[in-house]
Structure 1
Amino acid sequence: MRYQTRFIKRFAILALIFHLPILLVLLHVTAAFIPALFWINIPVLWTGIASAMGESHFKVAEFGATPQSPLAYTVIVVFWLLLAAWLAWLSVRKYKNAESPD
């Protein structure tokens, strides 16, 4: 299997797993509330994005940050997509050197 094919497959699987909490919330699954809080707060509070972007984009309260604008949601989604791409690259980089040149 080619390097690019492995990367794309692993990226798609990781991206789906990372975005599963918010997808379940959108489908009104009650048990997904806590994972969705982590989905929002890991990239926003742990990296300092909420304080950098300000109150117009994130409202910080008792349970963490709440996105207030489409840009805020875009930042969160891009964070998880970049993390999925990085993990996919880490997991398939050994195959890049093992392949014979085309």
Structure 2
Amino acid sequence: TADAVHRLRQIQSQDGKLIKISVVAKGCAGGAYRLDYLTPPAGKFDEVVEQDGVTVVVDSRSLMKVIGSVMDFQEDVLASRFVFENPNVVSTCGCEESFAT
């Protein structure tokens, strides 16, 4: 989304690092998103996605779990975070911290 692009642009302009998205084993539903800073270049098999002047790297082992997802950035008085609308999710845990694909 435009909010995610704006926040990613801020991050990349500060230190030149990229954001790498992975899905890791976590929580009661099995998987959770993990975002890490990455100094270029990306791994040999990682997917590099460029949109609207920003670059995001997707971990090669996670690609099929996040393909087709929309990344957003949300802020409120309590927190700021990237969130994902993922068409591959078939279930989430009660607290929505983890998901299954």
TM-score bracket for this pair, using the shorter chain length = under 0.3
Structure number with greater Rg is: 1
Q: Which has the higher contact order (CA 8 A, sep 6+)?
A: 1
Q: Which has the higher helix share?
A: 1
Q: Which has the higher strand share?
A: 2
